[in-house]
A and B are shown apart, each in its own frame.
Chain A
Amino acid sequence: MTSHHSDPQTTSPTRFWHLLLAGLLTLLTTPALGAATATNIYQPNHNGEDLTELPLEVLMDLEVTSASRKTQRLANTAAAAFVISQEDIRRSGATSIPELLRMVPGVQVAKMDANKWAVSIRGINGRFVSKLQVLKDGRSVYTPLFSGVFWESLDTPLEDIERIEVIRGPGAAMWGANAVNGVINIITKHAIDTQGGLLSGGGGNSEQGFGTARIGKQLTDNSFLRLYGKHVERGKGKHADGSDAHDDWQLSSGGFRFDVQPTFNDALTLQGDYYNGRYNETYNLYNLTTPGVAEVVPTHSTASGGNLLARWQHTLSDTDELSLQLSYDHSQRDFLILGERRNTFDADFQHRFKLASSQEIIWGLGFRHSTDQTRGSSTLSLTKSSESLSLYSLFLQDEITLLPDTLALIIGTRIDHNDYTGWEFQPNGRLIWTPSPQHTFWGSVSRAVRTPTRAERYLQYQYLTADTGTTSPPLPLPLRVEVYGHDDFTSERVLAYELGYRSELNPQLTFDLALFYNDYSNLRVRQNDLPALETATNFVLNYPLSNDAHGHSYGAELSTTWRPCDWWRLQAAYHYLRTKVYLDNGSDDDINSANTADGAPRHQLTLRSGFDLTKQLELDLWLRAVSRVRYIDRSTIPGYVTMDVRVAWKPTKHLELALVGQNLLQDQHPEYIPEFINTTPTEVPRGVYGKATLSF
């Protein structure tokens, strides 16, 4: 697809650099902040007074600031971690999980059409992106079909999310295969935190209509229940010429979470969801009878499914904890050219305990069994139409304190057994140094693998084209192109080196920097064969998938939060990323290297600003600048700068009215060109919606 649209606005980032610079200058020249740095947070320091010496009446008359509750665990992690809090979610104006992920440095989010997203961490992006582990409340939501995530079906009410933890870099030792470039863990609120009722709804041009109803109830002294229902109607994207695309969609979902605390030392969670979605899309099909004619087929796909999860946590002591989690997931998807029905059962056991005073051990066992049945078409099919796969795993991690509160070494490994490649060994070593509570340095070396998917083993994708210009010299006859999987296909591997620094100079100013170098081997490529005469009427060009590429990537990720004053919060995130992929045989195949090498922007900057104008009025601005992305066949998506604005008014404690503008800086912009499966890409239009949230 060639796209012709207005040039991205390149002046805006300059303005924001001014803002940042101004901010830093003010910071340096303001003695108040510098002084606060030295203050121990435990020491009451209210204008020099010791609060504990004040009489009760005076204490009760003090106005206080409510510090946002932050996750302690991640602050001390020897990994590149970022947390999206409920407050970040509420103030972002975003309406889906992938849109929220745009605020995380090192995460690339591209919208392919109104109902498809490509999300990756540290590069190599695609809808069928394969190097991420995505969990919802600890339950893996990626599909073994292609090791990717159907983001369009993952539609938990955003109000119910406690936080989203994003860990860049190999998380394999803890989370298992597929966590090559990162882990995204979506954590929903404990049922106790969603007591009472919530009704929210709204609509606009792009977000046509949405509504959520949630009710929380205390059942007994120590058990709590939450029920929710949600429906969304989402509008169309745009074709490059500005006309409406055929990609609007709707999704209904519902679910529950039940939490009970039968004893002081036991916690039990039961939760489940069901969803049913319908997604319009347009395929460009090259059929096998009329060569070269791409048939444009407007159609729709459907997806439905449900899951159930039970988790038991047992505390033996403060340093000794057990957990057991069982889950079952069913999904059914029908695309024009492929259907899939899948059942997955998963069991996980984990035990954390202290071994002597200086060592903390976490170990666990896992088992997953997944069965599927697929329906193919003449274009796309799996040569083995149904499959049953088992995965066994064991992991062990030891955190050794070398100097109390200052230096710790973490070593661990994960050993998996899967049906395609057998045993996989994924070790990692980390060092974390905390010279003072304000500064943390860490470094790591880890190895991770991405095991083969169903598609990489059994795919058969073919079409007939008369567009013989793709070969040189042009062929005299039509060409049948066939891409297929192989049972020799093995795991992709990465050896990753990371360094990080994190500081919290004071609660108003935090800073996080991560550097990485990834060394990949056995990367997937489509091997380039020469066309051969197949029959008297056509040539054939075979593209077997193979592990014949290697490469490396490196980059830096930076994020900072600054609260210059109580009513203003600024958050910035930036990444720089380079990826190089080479074919093992040394041939300089342009298409192959371009395909895997890129698909991610080299620079990405997001800047969020949250103003509390009054106690009732909030103004949020979110600027995003993304540099050019190059794709297969040398097509590119130009860089863009865009902005979201949210204005919210809370007339009472129970009601919030918000007006949100999304992607405001241009009428529409493209973000992605889909690879492989030829659905028509569309562009992201400017959107405006209104939303009311009532809690009671």
Chain B
Amino acid sequence: MRKRCLTYSLLLLCWALPAWSAPEQPAEAQVKSAIILNMARYVDWPTESFSSDGAPILFCYSGQGTLTASLPSLQGKTVKGHPVVVRRMNTSVDIAGCHLVVVDATERRYAASIIDRTRHLPILTVGDFSGFSRDGGMVELFLQDGKVRFEINLAAARQSHLKISSQLLKVARVIRGAGD
């Protein structure tokens, strides 16, 4: 009888404790998606990247991880007046039209070739695994104490003629000169 009682109290505790100690936590992938959208709002693409002011901004991704699964929720949001279109890349050939490319952790083996193909194109590359920005990617997402952080490779962004707002750089960890 005592044991059964313990079981039920444990379950009660289980429900009570998280509610009391911390608010409900959003999923990592959702926060990362939101950060990617927000980040895009602090980046200036060359004007020739868009055919018109209201032309869509294309977010591309490869891989089938939790992050890329939550990216389609960004569809229809806007970045400086450009509606977001999210598209899955089928081959590396598809990269050319993209404004932003997300490389999921599951696809890190493709990272080197994606970085290579986007080197001089105005495409913001975002990687969700460690080593991405060091290897020439522009933005690397990581977790620190349970919070999402990012690292920006400034040299890589400059090579691609993307202007990154100083406001964004202020909250990022910035590395310079790598990956050329």
Contacts and interface: CB of A to CB of B under 8 A. Distances in A.
A59 B34 contact: yes
5 contacts: A60-B147, A60-B148, A64-B26, A67-B29, A565-B15
B143 interface: yes
B26 to A, nearest CB: 4
Nearest to A43: B73
A222 B114 CA distance: 11
**Which of A47, A54, A59, A66 has the largest count of B CB atoms less than 10 A from its CB?**
A59
Contacts of A54: 34, 38
Given A52-B34, A267-B109, A67 B66 contact: yes
Contact of A568 (B14, B64, B106, B113): B14
A564 B143 contact: no
A26 interface: yes
Given A22-B4, A44-B34, 14 more contacts: A18-B3, A19-B7, A41-B69, A42-B72, A47-B24, A56-B171, A64-B148, A65-B26, A67-B28, A67-B29, A222-B109, A267-B109, A319-B90, A564-B11
A687 B37 CA distance: 53
Contacts of A65: 25-28
Interface of B: 3-4, 7-8, 11, 14-15, 17-18, 22-31, 33-35, 37-39, 42, 64-66, 69-70, 72-74, 77, 88-92, 105-106, 108-110, 112-114, 117, 131, 135, 143, 146-149, 168, 171
A161 B83 CA distance: 43
A568 B113 CA distance: 40
B7 A565 contact: no
A53 to B, nearest CB: 8
Interface string A506-536: 0000000000000000000000000000000
Contact of B112 (A46, A261, A567): A261
Interface in A2-45: 15, 18-19, 22-23, 26, 30, 32, 41-45
Contacts of B35: 56, 59-60
Contacts of B114: 264
A537 interface: no
Interface in A525-581: 564-568
Contacts of B33: 44, 51-52
A71 to B, nearest CB: 9
A22 B26 contact: no
Interface in A181-203: 190, 192, 195
B34 A264 contact: no
A44 B29 CA distance: 10
A564 B11 CA distance: 8
Contact of B147 (A23, A62, A317): A62
Contacts of B146: 63-64
A264 B62 CA distance: 12
B110 to A, nearest CB: 6
Given A51-B34, A565-B14, A318 B91 contact: yes
A52 B77 contact: yes
Contacts of B24: 46-47
Contacts of A192: 108-109
B108 to A, nearest CB: 6
Contacts of B30: 44, 46, 51
Contacts of B88: 318
A54 B131 CA distance: 28
B37 A52 contact: yes
Given A59-B31, A60-B171, A69 B106 contact: yes
Contact of B4 (A18, A42, A46, A57): A18
B70 A42 contact: yes
A42 B117 contact: no
Interface in A598-651: none
Contact of A22 (B8, B17, B91, B92): B8
Contacts of B109: 190, 192, 222, 259, 261, 267
Interface of A: 15, 18-19, 22-23, 26, 30, 32, 41-47, 51-52, 54-57, 59-67, 69, 72, 190, 192, 195, 218, 221-222, 259, 261, 263-265, 267, 315, 317-319, 564-568
Contacts of B149: 60
Contact of A63 (B70, B72, B112, B147): B147
A138 to B, nearest CB: 17
A44 B91 contact: no
B117 A64 contact: no
Nearest to B110: A264
A195 B109 CA distance: 13
Nearest to B62: A318
A315 B34 contact: no
B132 to A, nearest CB: 12
Given A47-B23, A52-B37, A192-B109, A66 B143 contact: yes
B91 A64 contact: no
Given A42-B69, A67-B27, A566-B25, A56 B39 contact: yes
Contact of A221 (B14, B34, B66, B112): B112
Contacts of A19: 7
Contacts of A69: 65-66, 105-106
A18 B74 CA distance: 44
A284 to B, nearest CB: 45
**Which of B14, B77, B90 has the largest count of A CB atoms less than 10 A from its CB?**
B14
A650 to B, nearest CB: 14
Given A47-B23, A51-B31, A261 B15 contact: no
Contacts of A43: 73
A307 to B, nearest CB: 23
B12 to A, nearest CB: 8
Contact of B26 (A46, A267, A566): A46
B50 to A, nearest CB: 21
Nearest to B70: A42
Contacts of A42: 69-70, 72-73
Nearest to B112: A222
